[in-house]
Amino acid sequence: MAARAVWLAFRGGLGRRQAFSTKANVQGSGRITVEVIEHLERLALVDFGSREAVARLEKAVAFADRLREVDTDGVEPMESVLEDRCLYLRSDNVAEGNCAEELLQNSHRVMEEYFVAPPGNISLPKLDKQESFLHS
């Protein structure tokens, strides 16, 4: 299928495609499982691309785990340093706009006044066991 060929070509261009095991070189909790990797890639629409990237994430998570040492009982989360102030809201009057042409100029693919996107509602396919760089 043409779509599959394109998909493989795009995934194939990811650089090093050595097979490796997630069990080796896992430091810390080993929580970055294959499922997590696929899930993150799907959510972020950004791929790991290499074993080093997975290792970096593991280190980042291990680093973040240090937060557990802090006692935060009874402490409210802080979302903004300006939490004690009222957020400014302007009145709902149209003051500017009508710049569709200018905005469309920055896009690669437009048609009339539409941004053109490829078909939606098609999930990013999961990697086959053969192509996956996660399985040895």
Partner 1 sequence: MLGRTLREVSVALKQGQITPTELCRKCLSRIQRTKFLNAYITVSEEVALKQAEESEKRYKNGRSLGDLDGIPVAVKDNFSTSGIETTCASNMLKGYIPPFNATVVQKLLDQGALLLGKTNLDEFAMGSGSTDGAFGPVKNPWSFSKQYREQKREQRRPKLHREREGTDWLIAGGSSGGSAAAVSALTCFAALGSDTGGSTRNPAAHCGLVGFKPSYGLVSRHGLIPLVNSMDVPGILTRCVDDTAIVLGVLAGHDPKDSTTVQDPVKPFTLPSLTDVSKLCIGIPKEYLVPELSSEIRSLWSKAADLFESAGAKVIEVSLPHTSYSIVCYHVLCTSEVASNMARFDGLEYGHRCDVSVSTEAMYAATRREGFNDVVRGRILSGNFFLLKENYENYFIKAQKVRRLIANDFVNVFNSGVDILLTPTTLSEAVPFLEFIKEDNRTRSAQDDIFTQAVNMAGLPAVSVPAALSAQGLPVGLQFIGRAFCDQKLLTVARWFEQQVQFPVLQLQGLMDDCSSAFENEKLASVSLKQ
**What contacts 133, CB < 8 A, 6 or more positions away?**
14, 16, 17, 18, 19, 20, 50, 51
- Residue closer to partner 1, measured from CB, 18 or 80: 80
Q: Which of 11, 14, 20, 18 is nearest to 135 (CA)?
A: 20
Task: Identify the residue among 105, 111, 112, 113 touching partner 1 (CB under 8 A).
Answer: 105
DSSP assignment string, 14-40: TS------SSTT--TT----HHHHHHH
69 binds partner 1 (CB under 8 A): yes
**Residue 24 in contact with partner 1, rule: CB under 8 A:** no
The residue ranges that bind partner 1 (CB under 8 A) are 3, 6-7, 10, 14, 36, 39-41, 43-49, 53, 56-57, 59-61, 63-64, 66-70, 72, 75-82, 85, 87-90, 99, 102-103, 105-109, 115, 117-124
